[in-house]
Amino acid sequence: MEAIYLIGFMGSGKTTVSQELAEKLEIAVYDTDREIVKLAGKTINEIFAIDGEEKFRDLESEVLHSMPLGDAVVSTGGGIIGSEKNRLFLKGKMNVVFLNADFSTIRERLKDDDTRPLLSQDNMEAAEKLYNLRLSLYREAANIEVDASGKSVSIIADEIILRMKK
Ligand SMILES: Nc1ncnc2c1ncn2[C@@H]1O[C@H](COP(=O)(O)OP(=O)(O)O)[C@@H](O)[C@H]1O
Ligand SMILES: O=C(O)C1=C[C@@H](OP(=O)(O)O)[C@@H](O)[C@H](O)C1
Ligand SMILES: [Mg+2]
């Protein structure tokens, strides 16, 4: 089976849903953020603070292109679609799922989160602007869109299984 990629904004549930999906399908699961942290030996906050966002994006693209191409679920970081090369890579794949949660759901889910350098609790307006800017890029890269607001993780995973191309 071709790998399944989950894309979408921070807090849409990509990391959580990817684990459930991989469990249901009995295949491996990868998270680009986790791979970046392993590669850099630093947290995401540290990479942004010490090396800068550009370095993070370089690592992110490198990791995306090194993931297994089959029998795996790949959860990506919300900014992966910022690079045209990454969008083109994803557009060539069979199962690219845009997990689309509305911004109020995202704000609620991440209200106590301090692990995402681009989501400051003091500047939610900036995060909402980024959310609106990225919407069309997620849609451009994905071939399946799933509403991820107000549904359990298990229901979302089941919906992806029903809609994916086998
Ligand atoms: N369908 C869901 N319903 C309720 N909470 C969820 C759901 N999906 C994810 N969450 C919660 O939202 C937060 C962000 O989820 P995460 O999987 O890290 O998102 P992402 O990887 O897209 O940033 C976590 O606390 C997670 O438990
Ligand atoms: O949207 C973004 O630019 C980012 C999303 C994060 O991943 P999640 O989407 O899993 O939160 C992580 O890659 C980093 O903090 C940057
Ligand atoms: Mg994640």
Give every CB contact of residue 154 below 8 A, 6+ residues apart in sequence.
20
List the residue whose alpha carbon is closest to atom 5 of ligand 1.
Answer: 109
State the average pLDDT over residues 82-91.
98
| Ligand 2 close to Cβ of residue 22 (< 6 A) | no
- Quick one: three-class SS letters along 122-139? CCHHHHHHHHHHHHHHHH
- Give, in order, the Cα–Cα distances in Å from 132 to each of 102, 105, 146: 10, 14, 17
Indicate whether 166 pLDDT > 80. Answer: no
pLDDT band, residue 48 (cuts 50/70/90): very high
Cβ-contact 24, 40 below 8 angstroms: no
Distance CA 18, CA 51 (A): 28
pLDDT value of residue 61: 98
Candidate of 5, 57, 116, 137 to mutate for ligand 2, largest count of ligand atoms within 8 Å of Cβ: 116
Q: In the chain, which residue ranges form alpha helices assigned H by DSSP?
A: 14-25, 32-40, 44-46, 53-66, 84-91, 103-109, 124-141, 153-163
pLDDT tens for each residue of 102-151: 999 999 999 999 999 999 989 999 999 999 999 999 999 999 999 999 99
Q: Which domains does the chain possess?
A: 4-158 (3.40.50.300)
Q: Which two tokens stand for residue 111?
A: 């209200």
- What single-letter amino acid sits at 138? Y
The answer to whether 116 is annotated as binding is yes
Going from the Cα of 67 to the center of ligand 1, the distance in angstroms, rounded, reads 22
pLDDT band, residue 25 (cuts 50/70/90): very high
